[in-house]
Amino acid sequence: MKGVGQPGRWRVGLVCLGWLFLSARPPDRLSAQASLSASLGARYSSTLVHDSIVSPFDVRLGISPAFTLAAALPLAAPWTADVTLDVSYGAVARHDQSGTVAPITHVTILTLGVALRRDLRHGFSASAGAGLLAYLPAERIGIFRDGGGPVVPMGTAALGYSPPLAVRRGLALEARYDLHGFLTPALRTEGFVNSTVVHRVALAVRYRLWKGSPP
């Protein structure tokens, strides 16, 4: 009972924290330097579950859309602190060796992260960070029959590129990578002991929505 309630509270906390971060008005000195950007792209996720019943099969999330809001606060040059809220949504399905694809349900994946970014030469930038991730299934069925599991930590890294022409328009290309452990309560009941390490790669276009004017 305790295990079911806690992930729910964590998820609500994660969402609230995200919205606080997005809606809070920063101090004037900070807002003068901060910027807010949004990115939209596609994300690939590695296998969520590998199992074998008569024959081996995988449970995977298809290529899914990914949307990210990020607030950036410049630190000592060339460093920037990023706070990101990332949402992706996709279909979870079983993929048999025979080619059969059996849909299970849809899931929203929510992450809240912080990263440290460094500007490199020729319009490139690189970042690394950490955050929290939650699976929010559309229905309680299959591997999500007892919920999406607890909020889990994740690590992330990204590479950005802003061509000279795109800099003025606030556009950038971004490749993001992150990883986390996946294990739902239903899988634990089934007998799974360890979580699967899930690797995710996203390619996105980032657009600067707002930038504070220099003091």
Partner 1 sequence: MRYLPLAVAVAVAGVACHEPTLPPNHTPAYAFDYFGDVFHWPQDRLSVRFFADTRGAMRTYVQRGVNLWEQQFLYGEFRGVLVPDSTHADVIVVWADSVPPDVPPDEGAPIKACVGTTTPEFDVSGVALAGPIHTSLAVLMSSATPAQLAACMRRTVLHELGHALGLFQEASDSLLIMNFTPWVNAPADGDRRTVEVLYHTPPTIAPPPR
By the criterion CB under 8 A, which residues form the site for partner 1? 49-55, 57, 59, 75-76, 79, 93-94, 100, 102-104, 116, 118, 126-130, 141-143, 145, 153, 155-157, 179-181, 183, 186-187, 190-197, 199
Name the residue with tokens 């009972």: 1
> Please, which residue, 93 or 110, has the CB nearer to partner 1?
93
The C-alpha torsion from 97 through 102 and 103 to 108, rounded to 10°, is: -20
Cα separation, 207 vs 153, whole angstroms: 27
What is the closest distance, in whole angstroms, from the C-beta atom of residue 25 to partner 1 in the complex?
28
Give the residue from 44, 22, 37, 36 showing the smallest Cα distance to 173.
37
Amino acid letter for position 59: V
> Please, which residue, 3 or 103, has the CB nearer to partner 1?
103
What is the closest distance, in whole angstroms, from the C-beta atom of residue 154 to partner 1 in the complex?
8
Please work out, in degrees rounded to the nearest 5, the angle formed at the alpha carbon of residue 188 by the alpha carbons of 182 and 154. Answer: 20
> Please, which residue, 36 or 126, has the CB nearer to partner 1?
126
> Please, which residue, 15 or 91, has the CB nearer to partner 1?
91
Q: Which two tokens stand for residue 37?
A: 């950007």
> Please, which residue, 164 or 191, has the CB nearer to partner 1?
191
Which residues have C-beta within 8 Å of that of residue 36, sequence separation ≥ 6?
69, 70, 71, 72, 208, 209, 210, 211
Cα separation, 5 vs 54, whole angstroms: 35
